[in-house]
Amino acid sequence: RFPIQRKLKLAQVHKQRKAKRKKLFISRVLAMATNTQDQQSQAGRHQEVGHKSLLQSDALYQYILETSVYPREPEPMKELRKLTAKHPWNLMTTSADEGQFLNMLLKLINAKNTMEIGVYTGYSLLATALAIPDDGKILAMDVNRENYELGLPVIQKAGVAHKIDFKEGPALPVLDQLVEDEKNHGSFDFIFVDADKDNYLNYHKRLIELVKVGGLIGYDNTLWNGSVVAPPDAPLRKYVRYYRDFVMELNKALAVDPRIEICMLPVGDGITLCRRVK
């Protein structure tokens, strides 16, 4: 009896081990498949221009674009988006859903006198120019005129170029000049900041004087590719790591600034709206 019992026991152990190995194998295959899917979706995430999103599901983001953004995107913005897609730095462009958001926001607040720091080929600039009235103004600044001029023909064709006053060069000295003249204080309804992140706090010091009480400043990329919550040893791209601390410092400073009310939205790469209250 003893050897048979032992044989049965061994057979049972063997069966259990086999089942365990099978389970482990299946879970490994599943994990590999999920990782591959994740990697594929991560890789796809920034490949297409304007397909920048913090949403965890690319399919959901695509749904937003296809259902409510692209069908309502004004023809000139579509043209500028497609033209920008061919440019090597197209990762910098404002995404189509954020363009739609800015356009709506500007209309809601009846913005007329506006400013933009960081133009690139002008997608957010065009969204602004199309939203403000015919006698509205945008003071637009960028260190690079070439990229602005790439998109300019589309802006001209849309019949809104007369609203734009483009200044080539760093924005900070222009802001200092504006602040010097008291008549510019509290004169802007809306200011969009989408340039060098290491200067955002310097911009904020000046812009808070220039925006009117009740007006808005929008700081773009305040979630900085999600890196604001990345662990210290996370493998970040060099420029992401470099600007991350500045973005986090800005977010902290805005959160405690009594002169503004704030609202941080996960649109695009994160945009923080600041409404001046005093």
Residues engaged in binding ligand SAM (CB under 6 A): 92-94, 117-121, 123-124, 141-144, 147, 170-171, 194-196, 199
Bridge pairing between strands 211-220 and 188-193? parallel
Of Ca ion, ligand SAM, none, which one does residue 93 interact with (CB within 5 to 8 Å by kind)? ligand SAM
Amino acid letter, residue 25: F
Task: Measure the CA–CA gap between 113 and 132, rounded to whole angstroms.
Answer: 8
Minimum CB distance to Ca ion smaller for 116 or for 194: 194
DSSP state string for 51-72: -----S-HHHHHHHIIIIIGGG
Amino acid letter, residue 263: C
List all residues 6 or more positions away from 82 whose beta carbon is below 8 Å from its beta carbon.
none
Binding site for Ca ion (CB under 5 A): 194, 220-221
Of Ca ion, ligand SAM, none, which one does residue 184 interact with (CB within 5 to 8 Å by kind)? none
Minimum CB distance to ligand SAM smaller for 17 or for 107: 107
CB 108 within 8 A of CB 120: no
Q: How far is the CB of 194 from Ca ion (least distance, A)?
A: 4
Of Ca ion, ligand SAM, none, which one does residue 98 interact with (CB within 5 to 8 Å by kind)? none
Q: How far is the CB of 247 from ligand SAM (least distance, A)?
A: 13
Helix 200-210 vs helix 171-180: crossing angle, to nearest 10: 30
CA 152 to chain centroid, in Å, comes to 22
**Is residue 111 classed as helix, strand or coil in its secondary structure?**
coil
Minimum CB distance to ligand SAM smaller for 168 or for 259: 168
Minimum CB distance to ligand SAM smaller for 202 or for 259: 202
Minimum CB distance to ligand SAM smaller for 141 or for 207: 141
Q: How far is the CB of 111 from ligand SAM (least distance, A)?
A: 16
- DSSP 8-state symbol, 200: H
Q: How far is the CB of 271 from Ca ion (least distance, A)?
A: 8
Within 10 A of 14 (CB to CB), how many other CB atoms are there? Answer: 10
Q: How far is the CB of 20 from Ca ion (least distance, A)?
A: 50
Minimum CB distance to ligand SAM smaller for 12 or for 158: 158
Task: Measure the CA–CA gap between 247 and 219, rounded to whole angstroms.
Answer: 10
Residue 109: closest CA among 276, 278, 250: 276
Q: Which residue is nearest to Ca ion (CB)?
A: 220
Q: How far is the CB of 67 from ligand SAM (least distance, A)?
A: 22
Of ligand SAM, Ca ion, none, which one does residue 119 interact with (CB within 5 to 8 Å by kind)? ligand SAM
| Burial of residue 60, with CB atoms counted within 10 A of its CB: 0-12 exposed, 13-18 middle, 19 or more buried | exposed
Minimum CB distance to ligand SAM smaller for 116 or for 189: 116
Q: How far is the CB of 41 from ligand SAM (least distance, A)?
A: 23
